[in-house]
Structure 1
Amino acid sequence: MTDKHIDEISGVETTGHEWDGIRELNNPLPRWWVYSFYATIIWAIGYAVAYPSWPMLTESTKGVLGYSSRAEVSAELAEAKAAQAGNLERIASSAVEDIMANPELKQFAITIGASAFKVNCAQCHGSGTAGGKGFTNLNDDEWLWGGKPEEIYQTIAHGIRYSGDGETRVSEMPAFTDTLAPREVRATAAYVASLTGTPSNPALVEPGKQLFAENCASCHGADAKGTREFGAPNLADAIWLNGEGEQAIIDQMKSPKHGVMPAWLQRIGDPVVKELAVFVHSLGGGE
């Protein structure tokens, strides 16, 4: 029989395992740890008996307690729907203005609208509603068609330039390549650029101002601050939808970009459109 090896420093017997001259001490496990380990085994057996645990071919064992997490979730969802039912009915039968006037109903609409926004609107306007190039920022107080709750509702319900809805908002900027010479386009762009910065050629600003009055003011206004009747943007606020800078202005005058927003009324229903309108209005830029 092989003699047992005893570690010289600790005086503890080793297991016989050795790695590069390092031996493993054969220290016994603490009693509390052993008992805890046995307790977990007993607990696991009891849990497997009491609750659903063992997978079978088509389902799992039911457990003697008959507990079901799915049934519990279903009950909670049913309870939540029952609690919401009253507010949902009130939203369906109320105008947006009436929802805004009721603090409790308004808060409920904001909460539901925030969820609906993530599902239907965040793909274009962003999860933070800040938009991006070609997609409007819904956090600021600049509105092409108006930022009152009923105006926001109209935009969401019927869309922008959406051919499938007869009540959609429509506005189109014409291309000025046929009506203005290239030099006149540059002059007009220089004037518009001067409203928020320094144009590349300041000498073009004055003739550009006259060209703007003759060709652009009918939609954008004499002060270039836009008109909501036509959805014409404010050109004097340094907020740009399709690109910033003098060249972007020239490009827009030559080949205008016209975005399309779908009409949501038939897709998601009137109550959800109301909830979205209240939510968007609450972002901080609503009027």
Structure 2
Amino acid sequence: MGVEQQDRDSYTGYLTTGHEWGGGLKELNTPVPRVLYFFLTLAFLFSVGYWVLMPAWPLGVTYTKGLLGIDQRKLVAASLHEAALERSVWSRRIETEDFAEIQSDPGLMNVVRETGRTLFGNNCAACHGVDAKGGPGFPNLTTTSWLWGGKPEEIFNTIRVGVNSAHPDTHVSQMPAFGHDQMLARQDVLKVASFVYSLSHPDAKDIDPARVEPGKALFAANCVACHGSDAKGNPEVGAPNLTDRYWIYGGDFDTIDTTVWGGRQGHMPTWEDRLSKLDRKILTLYVVDKRMVGP
């Protein structure tokens, strides 16, 4: 009784192990909590039950199938099959219905937005940006200013054939280098650039007004064949509208001067062999929808 009292911690009531560190610190012989045994037993029973019911043990080229017969491969295959059936319903409608019918169906347009976002992000965002607002050299697709026509059918065709691409029916477009190729003298280039700048900046104070009027005459002699007498462009030849604020390469005076001097030649790949007709139609609808909700 005296020995037991001597080896028992007076504060906790637990026996000590006999180990003692400097300063009188003794190690207690604390029992393992019973709740731990309970959870260990529960985990063991769960493991045994799982091994019996579910696929678990490898056996050379096969494995134990379990009493429940669950096969993850079959579950995944069934899920993919179900998804394919669901996709076939809306994909068939998008393939066969015209653009106006699809646009009038909120359910189909929800599919277009979800699927189109992925298609656009994987194939178009590198040039046009994730928000489809473009950047230097790449058009903003959320506006009403379109080079080759903004109707769904026209956009669908542009996605199919591209611009200056390898497709036999590609859109072909190139702006001449009026200054570089000595079609216009340097001072005449500045006059044309001044006039063009004034079209979208009628109240600008940073250009020489003496250049604007002669620039207009030079524009009429050299540029109207593509951009039109009103400078509002021509979708048939991919010539942009010069009277609005939407510019592909930039609408400041210096950039316009550079464009008139050195010319421009954009490029868009053909997607006919890269994307299915369904995917191209979804992309068209997605872009049109972005334009409708965009600025």
TM range, smaller chain: 0.7 to 0.9
Instruction: Look up the equivalent residue of 2:256 and give its one-letter code.
Output: I
Q: Secondary structure at the match of 1:247?
A: helix
Aligned equivalent of 2:98: 95
- State which drifts further: 237-246 or 15-24: 15-24
Return closer, same or farther for 1:11/1:228 CA change in 2, 3 Å cut-off: same
Give how far 1:192 is off: 2.4
Return closer, same or farther for 1:52/1:201 CA change in 2, 3 Å cut-off: farther
Q: Is the 8 A contact 1:159 1:264 kept in 2?
A: yes
Q: Is the 8 A contact 2:158 2:171 kept in 1?
A: yes
Distance 1:225 1:22 in 2: 92
Give how far 1:213 is off: 2.8
Distance 2:160 2:37 in 1: 67
Return closer, same or farther for 1:241/1:10 CA change in 2, 3 Å cut-off: farther
- Of 240, 243, 246 in structure 1, the residue corresponding to residue 247 of structure 2 is 240
Q: Over residues 101-132 of structure 1, what are the superposed CA-to-partner deviations in whole Å (9 max), with x where a residue is unaligned?
A: 55544444444333332333233223332322
Aligned equivalent of 2:87: 84
Aligned equivalent of 1:211: 218
Return closer, same or farther for 1:38/1:218 CA change in 2, 3 Å cut-off: same
- Of 173, 181, 189 in structure 1, the residue corresponding to residue 185 of structure 2 is 181
Distance 2:134 2:15 in 1: 71
Q: Is the 8 A contact 1:49 1:64 kept in 2?
A: yes
Give how far 1:182 is off: 0.8
Q: Is the 8 A contact 1:191 1:199 kept in 2?
A: no
Instruction: Look up the equivalent residue of 1:248 and give its one-letter code.
Output: T
Q: Secondary structure at the match of 1:250?
A: helix
Aligned equivalent of 2:174: 172
- State which drifts further: 25-34 or 74-83: 25-34
Q: Is the 8 A contact 1:280 1:286 kept in 2?
A: no
Aligned equivalent of 1:227: 234
Instruction: Look up the equivalent residue of 1:84 and give its one-letter code.
Output: R
Structure 2 counterparts to residues 1-287 of structure 1, below 5 A: 6=9, 16=19, 28=31, 30-54=33-57, 58=61, 61-166=64-169, 168-177=170-179, 178-194=182-198, 195-196=200-201, 197-285=204-292
* Larger-Rg structure: 2
Q: Secondary structure at the match of 1:35?
A: helix
Identity of aligned residues (%): 38
Return closer, same or farther for 1:76/1:252 CA change in 2, 3 Å cut-off: same
TM-score (norm. length: structure 2):
0.79
Give how far 1:261 is off: 1.4
Distance 2:183 2:196 in 1: 18
Q: Is the 8 A contact 1:122 1:129 kept in 2?
A: yes
Instruction: Look up the equivalent residue of 1:49 and give its one-letter code.
Output: V
Instruction: Look up the equivalent residue of 2:116 and give its one-letter code.
Output: G
- State which drifts further: 98-107 or 209-218: 98-107
Q: Secondary structure at the match of 2:74?
A: helix
Distance 2:43 2:22 in 1: 33
Give how far 1:86 is off: 3.2
- State which drifts further: 258-267 or 111-120: 111-120
Q: Secondary structure at the match of 2:291?
A: coil
Q: Secondary structure at the match of 1:254?
A: helix
TM-score (norm. length: structure 1):
0.81
Task: Count residues with an aligned counterpart.
Answer: 284
Q: Over residues 70-116 of structure 1, what are the superposed CA-to-partner deviations in whole Å (9 max), with x where a residue is unaligned?
A: 32121122112122323323333333344335554444444433333
Q: Secondary structure at the match of 1:153?
A: helix
Distance 1:59 1:149 in 2: 54
Give how far 1:59 is off: 5.6
Distance 1:47 1:282 in 2: 51
Return closer, same or farther for 1:276/1:40 CA change in 2, 3 Å cut-off: same
